[in-house]
Structure 1
Amino acid sequence: MLKLLRNLLAIFVGIVAGAAANMLLVSISPMLIPPPAGVDVNNAESLSLGIHLFEPQHFIMPFLAHALGTLVGALVAYLIAASHKNRFAYGIGVFFLCGGIAASYMISAPVWFISLDLLLAYLPMAWLGILLGNKLQPKPSIGS
């Protein structure tokens, strides 16, 4: 029963931590790379109407938000899960990938960005989260 609760907690906290990291990066994005004049990046309609004004530099922060949000969520899920740690980390990656796919239908970004985002920001970051989690996870000592 304790394993089940820890695994459920891993999913919940992984999603919340990943979403928080994503939103933090999205919220500071306009301060680091200002959007084109007249485009509100916090409004989906404004974003869709002004996406043609975006240059490649404007896609750096959304990509980092998606990638690092997924990485944080997968790492947290990996560290909390009581069993099947890799599956939980990849599950977080798939969860955020589904969100990325949905966003690609809602906001008509350039094909090159959608392709890059969907191919590199989700499952590879979940894999990286597994690698980092494996390094951070304390190893059981022999004889204990």
Structure 2
Amino acid sequence: MNPILRNVLAVILGWFGGSLINMGLVRIGSSVMPIPGVDTNDLNALAEAMPTLDFKYFIFPFLAHALGTLVGAALAYRIAANHKMKFAWAIGGLFLLGGIAVNYMLPGPTWFAIADIVLAYLPMAWLGRKIAGKL
């Protein structure tokens, strides 16, 4: 396969695969630990409730962001024809931008925003790259 096409495919499939993991974990989290009296499909209601939520309600969102990035970066690394590390980092960067946007649109506690931005994206892209390199 043409290396350029393969590299484009690495980004698309890394982003898509990581997003599936992310969305799946968010959905599972809202069914395992529903927020009482809040429709999680209503972003305005969710944004109002976010600052008042306990720690336990942020476990699944953090896992969704971290594991989505990890899987996406690993997929990109495995699929890319060359410069594999750069493609894993690119997925981490894309997910980081998404995480910043979500933390802006749904402002939660400051501790969560910091932990999410610092721990869930670039470190997970690095780890995904390391894991994929050993497979």
Measure, in 2, the Cα distance between the counterparts of 1:91 and 1:97: 10
The amino acid of 1:112's aligned partner reads W
Q: Give the deviation of 1:20 after TM superposition.
A: 0.4
Q: Give the deviation of 1:38 after TM superposition.
A: 1.2
Maintained 8 Å contact 2:51/2:107: no
- Corresponding residue for 1:33? 33
What TM-score results when the alignment is normalised by the length of structure 2? 0.96
Give the root-mean-square deviation of aligned CA atoms. 1.1
Q: How many positions carry a matched residue from both structures?
A: 135
- Corresponding residue for 1:66? 65
What TM-score results when the alignment is normalised by the length of structure 1? 0.90
Structure 1 position 120 matched with structure 2 position 119: yes
- Corresponding residue for 1:111? 110
The amino acid of 2:95's aligned partner reads F
Q: Give the deviation of 1:32 after TM superposition.
A: 2.0
The amino acid of 1:134's aligned partner reads G
Q: Give the deviation of 1:6 after TM superposition.
A: 0.3
Measure, in 2, the Cα distance between the counterparts of 1:132 and 1:14: 14
Moved over 4 A (4+): none
Measure, in 2, the Cα distance between the counterparts of 1:70 and 1:120: 11
Q: Which runs of 5+ in 2 are unaligned?
A: none
User: Secondary structure in 2 aligned to 1:83?
Assistant: coil
Measure, in 1, the Cα distance between the counterparts of 2:41 and 2:20: 15
Matches within 5 A, 1:19-30: 19-30=19-30
Q: Give the deviation of 1:34 after TM superposition.
A: 2.3
Structure 1 position 13 matched with structure 2 position 1: no
Measure, in 2, the Cα distance between the counterparts of 1:19 and 1:53: 27
- Corresponding residue for 1:2? 2
Q: Which runs of 5+ in 1 are unaligned?
A: 137-144
